[in-house]
Amino acid sequence: MIDTSVARSARADGEGGAKPAVECISVQKTFGRLQVLDDVSLTVERGEVVVMIGPSGSGKTTLLRCMNHLERIDSGELWVNGHLIGYRRTVKGLVEESEAEIARQRAEIGFVFQHFNLFPHLTAAQNVTLAPVRVRRMPRAEADANARELLARVGLADKCDTYPRQLSGGQRQRVAIARALAMKPTLMLFDEPTSALDPEMVGEVLEVMRGLAAEGMTMVVVSHEMGFARGVGDRVVMMDAGRIVEMGPPERVLDQPQEERTRTFLSKVLH
């Protein structure tokens, strides 16, 4: 039986009647004949850190991309910050929003990709300033100062004028995090942010993520870093074959999983 209880983070206490950061309601998504998301329902409270685990192809990344409307859902509803993401209600049903409105919604959602996605011809600081200037119309001087502050925040104060090819993988991922934070998001999505890194570089990225969690940032993280899930996550969500198999506090899901599929998966990644 799936544990569908929502564990509120201590960081979310005192929010009163605030709407959840994310609310997925019976979300379905197919690619051709492949059912990638099958009746997925999930609520993420403001200030909560949810870590999604599961085998490759289980639907974790697709669900994350749907939260940012990088993928369109086939049915169900997906709400972010109290608004339908990518759609609006009309008398004829749901209609996809304009590109301008979708861009505005995405501006509130930071997305950190597995492979950085930095512009190679721009310096670290220029990568960070690009979106605030173009999307939020932030004055250049303000964007430059903000970029340098954010790069210092992720431990890269001395790399502002460095190009991505001159950075290590861990440094590039930290630039990507600074770039996402430059838009002042209310929600951060991380798609396996350490999987493309050499083992010795993983820690520096996770440390930045721990700092964000400590500051109360709402985060949904797809990761196989079980130490991070245990130490930082408020909830762990186990996915398989497009469905949520099990979810709950890290200490229960990771140490005392109720579902056989979860036990089988954890036996392979924890040993």
Residues 233-265 have pLDDT tens digits of 999 999 999 999 999 999 999 999 999 999 999
Q: What is the mean pLDDT of residues 213-234?
A: 95
pLDDT given for residue 3 in this prediction = 38
| Residues 48, 254: Cα–Cα separation, whole Å | 18
pLDDT at 15 over 70: no
> Any idea of the CA torsion for 6, 10, 11, 12, to the nearest 10 degrees?
40
| Structure token digits, residue 9 | 């983070």
What does the pLDDT look like over 135-154, one tens digit per residue? 889 999 999 999 999 999 99
The answer to whether 151 touches 129, Cβ cutoff 8 Å, is no
pLDDT at 191 over 60: yes
pLDDT given for residue 168 in this prediction = 94
The answer to whether 254 touches 230, Cβ cutoff 8 Å, is yes
User: In what helix (H) or strand (E) does residue 105 lie, and over which residues does it extend?
Assistant: helix 99-106
